[in-house]
Structure formats: structure tokens, C-alpha cells
Amino acid sequence: MTITLYHFPQSRSLRVAWLLEEMGLDYTLKTIPRAKAREYAKTPEYQAINPLGKYPTLIDGDMTMVESVAIMDYLMHKYDAGSLKPAVDTPDFGPYTQWLHFGESGMGMYVIMLFAHSYLLPEEHRSPKIAEWGKEETRKCLEFLAAGLGDKDYLCESGFTAADISIFYILYLLKIIRQFDDAPDNLKTYFDRLKQNPAWQKISAIEE
Ligand SMILES: N[C@@H](CCC(=O)N[C@@H](CS)C(=O)NCC(=O)O)C(=O)O
């Protein structure tokens, strides 16, 4: 079976690439240069595998799927996730599942609203009120996350898991859009700790 990941630098495909590295799976990374990612997403070639024109897309044999966190879950169910996924009968399983999804479902929309209405959209389409709302909701999410992390090194008692990978990406996005400076101190320390991870360093070094 061949696993192929469509990736562009700084995007959510980093979550999947990081996990693939941690799991030691063989995969082909199809990196689309950042400047060309939107254009490539509209090509018949990419539309045939992902009509939404988003990244990541994963192809595993004859199966194609989208949604970064769903892809992570799929890979960990199908292949050996080791300690990246706590066993169902351990106390970590609930918190692990919560944080795995919180990185995208819980925080993603607020961060995107903040991003879109502060930077991404043409100025005439930005709404300061939506940006403010996104910022406030993001702040609440960060407080909640900081309380959950407490003084642990990682989100689960058992240590580093895929939930950290999921959460790290959304913090990384906040950092890129310069909205991470006011985050609680324990989250900043956590972010700096995760940045040292060798698999992260390898995949984040892939530039256009
Ligand atoms: N919820 C989806 C979001 C996918 C998504 O919006 N990806 C962004 C990159 S981080 C994208 O492809 N943007 C290109 C565009 O919207 O044109 C996931 O987690 O995979």
C-alpha cells in the first residue's frame, strides 16, 4: 500500500506529516509550493481527488480522504499508533479524544475568523466586530487549554500523544498571525517544548 499526502508548507497537512513521521510509516509527500497551492487546488488533477480544493488530502491505496484530524484518527486506527493514542481503558483516553478534536473543531473556527478578518480578506471585506469576536473566543479557548495542561509537559498524563500534534498546529497558526504573545505562560512553554520535537523540525523545515 502506498500512502500519499498532499501538503503545503504551514498548512494543516503538517499535522498529518508529523504523525506519519512519528508512526514511522512509509509515505510520499507531495509538497505544493505555498505560492502555488491555491492555483494547484483548482486544477483538474487536484479537483479529482479533492473537489473542496483544501489541504491536506491523504491517499492510502485506493482510499482518499480529507480533514486533518480525521486523517490522523484513521491512520492511528489502521496502523500501529503506539503511545500516540492512549488505550481506551485508560483515564487518558477521554482527555486525549477531547484535545485531539479541540485543536480543529473547538478552536479552528475562531482562529480562522480572527485570521480572515484581521489579515486574509481584502481590507474592504474585513469586519472588526468579527475579528474582535474571534479574538475573544480564541482567548477563552486558550484559557481552557491552559487549565487542562496545568503543569504537565503534555496534555495527557501518559506523555506525548497525537492530541499534542493537533493542538500544536492551531497554536502554530496563532503564532504565524502574531496572536500568541498574550497566551498563558504554560502554553508558551508547552509550544516551545513541542517545537523541539525532531519530527516537527524535519517536516516544518520543508519549504516551498
Ligand atoms: N478542517 C480542515 C480545514 C482544511 C483547510 O482549510 N485547509 C487550508 C490550509 S490550512 C486550505 O487548504 N486552504 C486553502 C484555501 O482555502 O484555498 C482540515 O482540518 O483539514
Tell me the pTM: 0.97
Atom of ligand 1 nearest to the CA of 56: 20
Which residue's CA is the nearest one to ligand 1's atom 18?
Answer: 67
If you measure from the C-alpha of residue 3 to the centroid of ligand 1, how many angstroms do you get, rounded to a whole number? Answer: 20
β-strand 28-31 against 3-7: which pairing, if any?
Answer: parallel
Which residue's CA is the nearest one to ligand 1's atom 10?
Answer: 11
The structural domains of the chain, with segments of one domain joined by +, span 3-81, 84-197
Identify the residues whose C-beta falls under 6 Å from ligand 1.
11-12, 38, 41, 53-56, 67-69, 104
Using one digit for the tens of pLDDT, what is the confidence trace for 66-95?
999 999 999 999 999 999 999 999 999 999
Q: Among residues 137, 89, 91, which one has the least CA distance to residue 112?
A: 137
Atom of ligand 1 nearest to the CA of 38: 17
Using one digit for the tens of pLDDT, what is the confidence trace for 28-78?
999 999 999 999 999 999 999 999 999 999 999 999 999 999 999 999 999
Q: Does domain 3-81 have CATH number 3.40.250.10?
A: no
Using one digit for the tens of pLDDT, what is the confidence trace for 20-30?
999 999 999 99
Q: Which fold, 84-197? A: Glutathione S-transferase Yfyf (Class Pi); Chain A, domain 2 (1.20.1050)
Which residue's CA is the nearest one to ligand 1's atom 1?
Answer: 67
**Cβ atoms of residues 71 and 59 within 8 Å:** no
Task: Tell me what pLDDT residue 1 has.
Answer: 67
Using one digit for the tens of pLDDT, what is the confidence trace for 143-199?
999 999 999 999 999 999 999 999 999 999 999 999 999 999 999 999 999 999 999
If you measure from the C-alpha of residue 2 to the centroid of ligand 1, how many angstroms do you get, rounded to a whole number? Answer: 23
Using one digit for the tens of pLDDT, what is the confidence trace for 91-141?
999 999 999 999 999 999 999 999 999 999 999 999 999 999 999 999 999
Backbone φ/ψ region at 48: left (φ over 0), alpha (ψ -120 to 50), beta: alpha
Same fold, 3-81 and 84-197: no
Residue 208 has pLDDT above 70, yes or no: no
Task: Tell me what pLDDT residue 207 has.
Answer: 77
Atom of ligand 1 nearest to the CA of 112: 6
Which residue's CA is the nearest one to ligand 1's atom 2?
Answer: 67
Q: Which residue has the cell 497525537?
A: 162
**Cβ atoms of residues 55 and 61 within 8 Å:** no
